[in-house]
Amino acid sequence: MAQSTMKRSQQIDAYAAAVADLFKTGVHDPHIEEILERYAKGLLLPDVVADDIRKSLSAIRLRLDADYGIKTMLVNRVYYARFRHPVPDFEMTEIEARQCISGCSGRHGACGIREHVGGDEDVLYSTYEKNLATNGASKVGAVVRRLGESVRDGSLTRDHAAEIVDGALAPVVASAAEMGTLSPRRKRTHRRLKS
């Protein structure tokens, strides 16, 4: 088992290296077929390898982030069919971006990977990050609700529930504070009228 896990990890490394190579050549959104072509280096490989790359896209994305520091997202066939080569001055809307992101629209699985290259103007990447944040917030909300129910029914003490929440959120709060996204409360800019 350990040997097959190590072999699988090496396979993901090789796929990630092929994708990073494509990024260096200016292909910022390789499709599975392009990844396969770069990985195979001219060899004829069975279709099962393309299927393995498709199944490995999430692991490849994580490896690109961890080992190469490259921020990416998984895109689906809508992206490749409609938005890969937009006309000049085309501006993608957030709704269109959601249709292109694998797992965001719920209709299409991933068939490629896209590098974040557009800075703040990259609507696709911003929508992807917004979707992740929304999903994370809803999961935190669900956990807090369950903990609240546990406190109400007496299966947890309030202190222990608070400890769980604090332990889970402390790294997030610290990271947000470090980025400067947690700002102090604004001072009131208006005065209350006395009645």
Q: Cβ distance 54 to 92 under 8 Å?
A: no
Q: What is the CA radius of gyration of the chain?
A: 22
> For the residues 140-169, what does the mean pLDDT come to?
86
What mean pLDDT comes out for the span 177-193? 53
Instruction: Name every residue whose Cβ is closer than 8 Å to that of residue 81 and which is 6 or more positions away in sequence.
Output: none
Q: What pLDDT, on the 0 to 100 scale, is given for residue 187?
A: 44
For residues 186 and 103, the model is more confident at 103
Q: Give the model's pLDDT for residue 190.
A: 41
* Token pair for 160: 């222990």
Query: 114 - beta bridge partners?
Result: 73
| pLDDT tens readout for residues 7-34 | 889 999 999 999 999 999 999 999 999 9
What pLDDT, on a 0 to 100 scale, did the predictor assign at position 167?
81
Paired tokens of 121? 């103007």
Assigned token pair, 88: 């000049």
- Tokens 């961890």, located at residue: 66
Question: Residues 97-142: pLDDT tens digits?
Answer: 888 888 776 667 899 999 988 777 888 888 888 888 887 787 888 8
**Domain spans of the chain, in order of start:** 7-117, 128-179
Indicate the burial class of 95 (C-beta count within 10 angstroms; 0-12, 13-18, 19 or more): exposed
pLDDT band (50, 70, 90) for residue 183: low
Inter-residue contact 74 to 57 (CB < 8 Å)? yes
Residue 148 neighbours by CB under 8 Å, 6+ apart: 161
User: How confident is the model over 62-101, as pLDDT tens digits?
Assistant: 999 999 999 999 999 988 988 888 766 678 888 888 888 8
Q: Is the confidence at residue 194, as pLDDT, over 60? A: no
> Residue 170 corresponds to which tokens in the numbers above?
């402390």
Of the two residues 180 and 101, the one the predictor is more confident about is 101
Q: DSSP assignment of 33-62, as one string?
A: HHHHHHHHTT----HHHHHHHHHHHHHHHH
End-to-end CA distance of the chain: 75
The mean per-residue pLDDT over the stretch 150-174 comes to 83
